[in-house]
């Protein structure tokens, strides 16, 4: 009786987010022994392999081809090949490709082995100074403004800290929307973690926006404090909400109208006209 054909193994391999000294011995050993490495950008990963003295073949596995390429890689795994997935930086599956092939591999009883290592999320969390045990990770916010504001609005009642990834060319837009939706909460911005020009910027969202108005380079992690207890007292009725904002004493009618429009998903012009009547009462 013939024994079942042996499948390959899928490795989920975390790579450095910047500093190449963070490479683990296990990562070097695994990338050197597998038959194929699936990566987001072959040019980027080839530089890492060259630094490590590894010549394992590479194949592209970026977001736009993830579904189709996963089927191809699955067939190779079923034929007995050992494959490692790597991101350009950090851990695959954290806002990077990987989950589709992992699901397919598990469905077909192919062993999936994680190689733990660097992650921008855990790196930022470790130096944030946050003491609360829970947090929310939102990955990259939507690129379109309407979807982004709706996304943030769905999170504004959470009490835990909010973590997001963002790119340099969208950070200003993201911070403006955060300021509008969340108010001027305390926040932190981590730039180029583990790299030569690493920065940790702490302040309110308006202060971070002021910082981002200059040219910002490198990958970013944005951390925003959760809803504070005193914010729970804010009403959700239009007239009461207008009066509530007015009585805070540190916001203009125009800015209040913007925030209420976001809070209640209503027309800003309608709210502004109603606020004109109530603001001076």
Instruction: Select the more confidently predicted residue: 137 or 241.
Output: 137
Please give the average per-residue pLDDT across 42-59, as a whole number. Answer: 96
Mean pLDDT, rounded, of the chain: 90
Q: What is the pLDDT of residue 31?
A: 98
Q: Stretch 138-148: mean pLDDT, rounded? A: 94
43 confidence band (pLDDT: 50, 70, 90)? very high
Q: How confident is the model at residue 4 (pLDDT cuts 50, 70, 90)?
A: low
- pLDDT of 281 > 80? The answer is no
pLDDT given for residue 133 in this prediction? 84
Whether residue 107 is predicted with pLDDT greater than 80 in this model: the reply is yes
Query: How far is residue 138 from each of residues 148, 174, 221, 224, 262, measured CA to CA in Å?
Result: 11, 13, 11, 11, 19
Higher pLDDT, 250 or 182: 182
Domains, the chain, with CATH or none: 10-118 (3.40.1010.10), 121-228 (3.30.950.10), 234-278 (no CATH)
Confidence at residue 3, expressed as pLDDT on a 0 to 100 scale: 55
Which segment, 1-15, 51-65, 260-274, is predicted with the most confidence on average?
51-65
H/E stretch holding 257 reads: helix 253-264
Averaged pLDDT, 161-177: 96
**pLDDT computed for residue 194 by the predictor:** 96
How do beta strands 161-166 and 186-191 pair?
A: unpaired
Q: What is the mean pLDDT of residues 7-16?
A: 96
pLDDT at position 233: 52
Q: Render 210-239 in DSSP notation, one character per residue.
A: HHHTS---S-EEEEE----GGGGG---SHH
Token digits for 117?
């290592």
């Amino acid at each position: 009786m013939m024994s079942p054909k042996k499948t390959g193994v899928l490795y989920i391999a975390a790579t450095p987010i910047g500093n190449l000294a963070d490479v683990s011995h296990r990562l070097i050993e695994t990338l050197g022994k597998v038959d194929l490495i699936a990566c987001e950008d072959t040019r980027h990963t080839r530089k890492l392999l060259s630094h490590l003295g590894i010549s394992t073949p590479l194949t592209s596995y970026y977001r736009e081809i993830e579904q189709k390429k996963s089927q191809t890689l699955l067939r190779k795994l079923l034929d007995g090949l050992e494959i490692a997935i790597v991101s350009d930086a950090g851990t695959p599956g954290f806002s990077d490709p990987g989950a589709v092939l992992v699901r397919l591999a598990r469905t077909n009883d192919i062993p999936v082995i994680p190689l733990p290592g660097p992650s921008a999320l855990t790196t930022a969390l470790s130096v944030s100074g946050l003491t609360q045990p829970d947090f929310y990770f939102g990955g990259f916010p939507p690129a379109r403004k309407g979807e982004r504001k709706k996304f943030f609005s769905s999170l504004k009642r959470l009490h835990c800290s909010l973590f997001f990834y963002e790119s340099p060319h969208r950070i200003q837009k993201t911070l403006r929307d955060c300021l509008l939706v969340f108010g001027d909460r305390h926040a932190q911005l981590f730039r180029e973690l583990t790299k030569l020009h690493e920065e940790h910027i702490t302040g309110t969202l308006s202060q971070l926006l002021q910082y981002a108005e200059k040219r910002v380079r490198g990958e970013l992690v944005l951390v925003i404090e959760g809803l504070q207890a005193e914010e729970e007292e804010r009403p959700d009725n239009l007239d009461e909400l207008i009066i509530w904002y007015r009585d805070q004493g540190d916001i203009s009618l125009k800015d209040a109208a913007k925030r209420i429009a976001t809070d209640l998903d209503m027309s800003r012009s309608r709210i502004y006209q109603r606020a004109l009547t109530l603001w001076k009462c």
